[in-house]
Structure 1
Amino acid sequence: MLGSLIETGLHEMRRESSGLLLSGLSAGLDIGFGPLMMAVVLTLSPGSYGDLGTELLLAVVYSIGFIFVILGRSELFTEHTTLAVVPVIDGQASPRQLARLWGLVYAGNVAGGVAFTLLVSLLIPELGVVSPAAFETIANKLVTHSLTWLFVGGIFAGWLMGLLAWLVTAAQETTSRLILIVVVTATIGLLHLPHSIAGNVEVLFGLFTSPAIGVADYLAFLGLATAGNAVGGAVFVALLKYGHVVRGAS
């Protein structure tokens, strides 16, 4: 399994810059359907946050965007906080190659999220199934926390995404991968953990539709969630699991 992870990471590092950027852009666009469906559920459901049935439904629809991205094999930054780190730890890739991969994928992810949010914001009045208030409610779940919480919560989100990348690599069937994606990402959604790429769309929706959320809220969220995600995936999954696999084989 470790060999497969290393080969996957090396394959992505060897891709053309334009391919990585476009794949990252595609992932940033596709992942936006999760936050959009969350807003639809909050608009149409008689319940709200704090209601068990609504919370579970929101967590499940949150996973929709991740299903599109991961099964569609688009590049997601939070997957590469584990996948791309393993070849570096193993000495088969350099930190410079890692930085290039992270930078291109992350830029594509964020740009895709911005484009998706702008497109949906133009359609909101005509959709009839989603209200601006729902977007504000979702965004507030992420920005009304301390800076420390955003970073630590980001670590846990990155940790879970790293585990997902590790487990999906081991899974052989599409059904198994689908179940893993839903279980892990719904957990992130249920705990309201800050995922830098999906959360990018969630907070942007709030920024574009509500005067209560400002640019400073968005930038603080994005910066701390990204840093936390990177630490969670690189340290708590890539480094620790690589260490125990290598030591176990020796």
Structure 2
Amino acid sequence: MKEKISQLFKDKVFLVLLVLGLLTIVAAAGVITVQRGNGGGESPYLQVPDQSNMIVEESIPQETQVAVAGDSNATQNMEEEMQAADSNKATAEQETKEPAVKAGTDKNAAKSLVLDFNDASRMTWPIRGNVILDYSMESTIYFPTLDQYKCNPGLVIQGDVSTPVVAPANAKVQEIGSNEEIGSYVVLNMGNNYTAICGQLKEVQVVENEYVKEGQVLGYVAEPTKYYSVEGSNVFFELTYNDKAIDPLDHMQ
């Protein structure tokens, strides 16, 4: 009986030691695992990527993302294009409102010039030079080339060939023509039924219906026609009021 008890006791002691040994092995394995984790080794667990950004991007509609991709530059460019379009539209409307001016005319001059020549007005000389033949409609004067006496509706002013001839006052070019007596000429409408005629010209610099300012070049002194070959190169200058010739000297500066 004692032997059985002794054997049973020995068996229990063996089992206890066996359990303690197993527990010791398990504890040691746990310590090693914890040390590996603290040592910066790779985690044995599957790493799931952060999907918060992915969720936000997918939640934004495609059209919205495209708009954002252009950032502030795209918005600025669009605003500039809209402003340019508005400016062009305003310019086109302004041009539509402006009165039409024929080709060859000066639009700025047309808007600023006032054709208001009157009895008290004074003119610039179309060319500076001696008066070869005076105005004379009440009596006749002698014309050397023609070798005869006759009335003269204007002034014959001496001038060298190619000297500039200028507008005597603000005016609108009413007519450009030529005849055998005074050669190429320009008729100027100065307003209030006053007109001026400048003849013996070449290289005319203006066109019909053009507005010209006082002192603007109309053309240049030409070689004299056969009617003034003896008198020499000159400018024929006539002033009319209501289509009647009047003395230009009464209105010269």
Measured against the shorter chain, the TM-score band is under 0.3
Give the strand-richer structure, 1 or 2: 2
Bigger radius of gyration among the two? 2
**TM-score scaled by length of structure 1:** 0.24
Give the helix-richer structure, 1 or 2: 1
